[in-house]
């Protein structure tokens, strides 16, 4: 079983495994721990790859739902190696992607059908062990079969699930003009789904660099605007000049408060501003209420997703969404420090942790 050193148990599943574990914020190590045991409704997954995302930086710092000791990793893909007695939906040997957000189904919001707003959310890789380990336990209802989709593409199913929720929230009218600030991996997925859902004209505005180059190469928008750090005001003024009536929908997907603050001025009358980025806890912005009032601007947000993996797989099966080329770098868990640094400095478009 690859690099696993522990003694073998039944069916070739070892007793112990390697995992990247945090004992507290910023304090992590590769440890040898027991392979998780599974309940009657669970599956055990041997992880092939797990996407690395900006949220992992927040977990690194102890933000969000982080609970320690923590094995991060919420974009996991692998093969089912054991199933609980009551599991009928998936079988040993099938390759899957795991939906990391498990609502409690009992709280104030869950019983109203708003599972994404669950007050007791279990997050694999957030407050329970996730995919930066050789094996992970998931409830069977949280894994979706992926056939032979390559692992480095399948790790994008989770962020794509979040993007489909975002699209549902913004509900673009047929023929919409949309401005998307930011074209990281999430922006690239949003762009593809926007084009499939009502958007007639999509503009991507982003700082120049490998992400914007890739977005252009993948032909993800109708126009691309580079906003340089040194010339941001002029670039943004030019964008407004060439779109004097603004856009029906403006999506802020950079996570930069300064961009969010500006983005309200690109929303046309009757339009919608979507807060999609992940911001620092302490970030604050200022908007003129008169602008929001006189323009009748709708401001909405999209946080993550629940129960959207099957929807994404429908787009994948019909080849309407393309994950190829977005993961540009892979690391082993032993290289986590290096990966974190590169993530912080944005040296890759998207990375994934891989296992044997």
**Binding footprint of Zn ion on the chain (CB under 5 A):** 53, 55, 103-104, 107, 110, 118
Alpha helices in the chain (DSSP H): 54-61, 151-154, 157-170, 185-195, 210-217, 232-242, 257-263, 289-294, 309-317, 336-344
CA distances from 349 to 65, 83, 92, 167, 321 (A): 25, 35, 33, 22, 18
Residue 73, classed as helix, strand or coil, is coil
Q: At what angle do helices 185-195 and 210-217 cross, to 10 degrees?
A: 30
* CB 186 to Zn ion: min, Å: 8
Q: How far is the CB of 234 from Zn ion (least distance, A)?
A: 33
Task: Supply 203's token pair.
Answer: 């503009």
* Spatial distance between the Cα atoms of 191 and 315, rounded to a whole number of angstroms: 14
Q: Which is nearer to Zn ion, 4 or 55 (CB)?
A: 55
Closer CB to Zn ion, 100 or 271, in the complex: 100
Q: Cβ closer to Zn ion: 24 or 105?
A: 105
Cα distance between residue 18 and residue 31, in whole Å: 6
**Least Å from the CB of residue 52 to Zn ion:** 8
Cβ 121 to Zn ion shortest distance, Å? 7
Q: Which is nearer to Zn ion, 103 or 277 (CB)?
A: 103
Q: CB-wise, 65 or 104, nearer to Zn ion? A: 104
Least distance in angstroms from the C-beta of 125 to Zn ion: 9
Q: How far apart are CA 328 and CA 52, in angstroms?
A: 11
Compare residues 118 and 339 and give the one whose CB is closer to Zn ion. 118
Q: Nearest distance from residue 123's CB to Zn ion, in Å?
A: 10
**Residue 251 forms beta bridges with which residues?**
180, 274
């Amino acid at each position: 079983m690859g690099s696993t050193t522990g003694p073998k148990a039944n069916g070739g599943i070892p007793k112990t495994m390697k995992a990247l574990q945090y004992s507290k914020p910023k304090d992590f190590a590769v440890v040898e721990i027991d392979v998780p045991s599974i309940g009657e409704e669970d599956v055990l997954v041997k992880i092939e790859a797990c996407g690395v995302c900006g949220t992992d930086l927040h977990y690194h710092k102890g933000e969000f739902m982080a609970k320690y000791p923590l094995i991060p990793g919420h974009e996991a893909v692998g093969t089912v190696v054991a199933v609980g007695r009551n599991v009928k939906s998936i079988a040993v040997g099938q390759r899957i992607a795991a939906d990391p957000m498990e609502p409690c189904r009992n709280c104030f919001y869950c019983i109203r059908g708003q599972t994404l707003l669950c007050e007791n959310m279990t997050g694999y890789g957030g407050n329970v062990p996730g995919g930066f380990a050789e094996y992970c336990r998931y409830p069977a209802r949280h894994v979706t079969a992926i056939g032979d989709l390559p692992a480095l593409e399948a790790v994008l199913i989770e962020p794509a699930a979040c993007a489909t929720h975002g699209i549902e929230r913004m509900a673009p009218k047929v023929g919409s003009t949309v401005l998307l600030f930011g074209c990281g991996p999430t922006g690239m997925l949003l762009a593809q789904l926007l084009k499939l859902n009502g958007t007639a004209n999509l503009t991507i505005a982003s700082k120049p660099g490998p992400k914007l180059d890739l977005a252009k190469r993948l032909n993800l928008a109708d126009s691309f605007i580079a906003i340089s750090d040194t010339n941001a005001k002029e670039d943004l003024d030019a964008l407004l000049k060439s779109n004097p009536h603004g856009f029906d929908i403006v999506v802020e997907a950079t996570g930069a408060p300064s961009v969010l603050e500006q983005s309200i001025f690109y929303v046309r009358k009757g339009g919608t501003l979507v807060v999609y980025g992940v911001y620092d806890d302490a970030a604050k912005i200022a908007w003129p209420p008169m602008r929001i009032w006189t323009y009748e601007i709708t401001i909405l947000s999209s946080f993550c997703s629940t129960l959207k993996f099957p929807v994404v797989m429908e787009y994948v099966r019909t080849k309407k969404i393309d994950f190829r080329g977005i993961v540009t770098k892979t690391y082993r868990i032993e290289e986590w420090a290096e990966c974190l640094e590169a993530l912080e400095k944005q040296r890759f478009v998207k990375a994934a942790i891989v296992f044997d």
